[in-house]
Amino acid sequence: MSKAREVLERLKNGEITVEEAELYFRSEPYKEMGFAKLDMHREIRSGFPEVIYCAGKPDEYLVSIYEKMTETNGCAFGTRASKEQFELVKEHIPDIEYDPVSKILKVERNQKERKGMIAVCCAGTADLPVAEEAAQTAEYFGTRVERIFDVGVSGIHRLLSKVEILQQANCVVAIAGMEGALASVVGGLVSNPVIAVPTSVGYGASFGGLSALLTMINSCANGVAVVNIDNGYGAGYMATQINRLATEHTAAGKEE
C-alpha cells in the first residue's frame, strides 16, 4: 500500500483528522538538501518510492540521504552499495540491512504484503548478483518472488523441470551472460511477459555482456523485452509493474 493510500485509509477509518491528512499532502514534493533533491512524492505519482544508487556517492551525502529518507518514510532502498558504505551508514542507522551478493542496502521497517508472483531465473551461479538484485527489488516493492537459479541452456533439463512455476508466474525475469540464450528458451515456454537481463559474465568475446544483449534483442521468441546489461534493478521494477496489473485484474474479476 502506498503512503498516500495509507493516509486516506486512516482518514476513512477515523484514525486521523482531516487536518492531519491535509498536512501530509501539503508537504513539499521534494526535500532540498543542497547536494540532492529527494523526490518524496514519487510514490504518489508512480506507485514506487525513490531508490538510492549508492555507487560513487560521497560518504557524507550517502549517510544524509539515508537518514532523511528513513526519517520521512520509515524505509530506504539502495542498490550497488559496498560493504564499506554499509558499515558507514550502520553507524547512524543501526537496523539497516546489507546483502553482499546483490549489494542492496535497505531499511525496511514496514514490510509490504507480497502479492501475485513473478519468477526470477538465471543461467548460472555467476549471474546471482544480478538475479538477487532483481528479486529483492521486486520483493521490496511488494511482489512475491520464486527464485529459479542455475538453469542455463547447457543443461536444459534443469529449466524444463521448473516449467510449471514459470507458466504460473505473472512475469518471468530471465538473466544470463555468455551468449544469453536463456531468455529465448523461456520466452518459448510461457504466455506471460519475459524480461531479459544480459549480464557481463563471460569470456573475452562476450564483450562484457554485449554478446548476450544482442542475442536477447534479436530473440525469435515473442513477448521478450530487454533491459540494460546487469540491470537487475530495472528488471525487478518492471516485473513488479506487470505483476501489479495482473493482480489488480484478477482481483477485479473476482469482484465481478
pLDDT digits (tens, 9 = 90+) for 164-194: 999 999 999 999 999 999 999 999 999 999 9
Q: Provide the residue range defining the domain that includes 38.
A: 3-108
The answer on 143 and 243 residing in a single domain is: yes
CA–CA dist 103, 99 (Å, integer): 5
* Domain C-terminal end among 108, 131, 163: 108
The answer on 176 and 193 residing in a single domain is: yes
215 has a pLDDT exceeding 60: yes
3-state SS class at 144: strand
The answer on 141 and 75 residing in a single domain is: no
The answer on 134 and 67 residing in a single domain is: no
The answer on 230 and 125 residing in a single domain is: yes
The answer on 137 and 103 residing in a single domain is: no
> Residue 30's pLDDT is what?
65
* Domain C-terminal end among 108, 128, 145: 108
> Residue 138's pLDDT is what?
97
The answer on 123 and 227 residing in a single domain is: yes
The answer on 121 and 241 residing in a single domain is: yes
Whether 256 is in a domain gets the answer: no
1 has a pLDDT exceeding 60: no
The answer on 122 and 240 residing in a single domain is: yes
Range of lowest pLDDT (28-32, 144-148, 238-242): 28-32
Whether 74 is in a domain gets the answer: yes
More confident residue, 209 or 25: 209
User: Total domain count for the chain?
Assistant: 2
The answer on 175 and 158 residing in a single domain is: yes
What φ, ψ does residue 58 adopt, rounded to 5°? -60, 145
The answer on 95 and 137 residing in a single domain is: no
205 has a pLDDT exceeding 60: yes
CB 98 within 8 A of CB 81: yes
Whether 36 is in a domain gets the answer: yes
Indicate which CATH number applies to the domain containing 191: 3.40.50.1970
**10: amino acid identity, one letter:** R
- pLDDT averaged over the chain? 90
> Residue 182's pLDDT is what?
96
Whether 229 is in a domain gets the answer: yes
Whether 217 is in a domain gets the answer: yes
* Domain C-terminal end among 82, 108, 134: 108
The answer on 129 and 220 residing in a single domain is: yes
3-state SS class at 191: coil
> Residue 172's pLDDT is what?
98
Say if strands 75-79 and 171-176 run parallel, antiparallel, or are unpaired: unpaired
What is the tens place of the pLDDT at every residue in 63-115? 999 998 888 778 899 999 999 999 999 999 999 999 999 999 999 987 778 99
> Residue 230's pLDDT is what?
97
132 has a pLDDT exceeding 60: yes
> Residue 122's pLDDT is what?
97
**Rg (the chain; Cα; Å):** 20
Q: What is the grid cell recorded at 250? A: 484478477
Q: Determine the average pLDDT of the residues in 24-38.
A: 69
> Residue 129's pLDDT is what?
97
* DSSP codes of every residue in 55-101: TT--HHHHHHHHHHHHHHHSEEEEES--HHHHHHHHTT-TT-EEETT
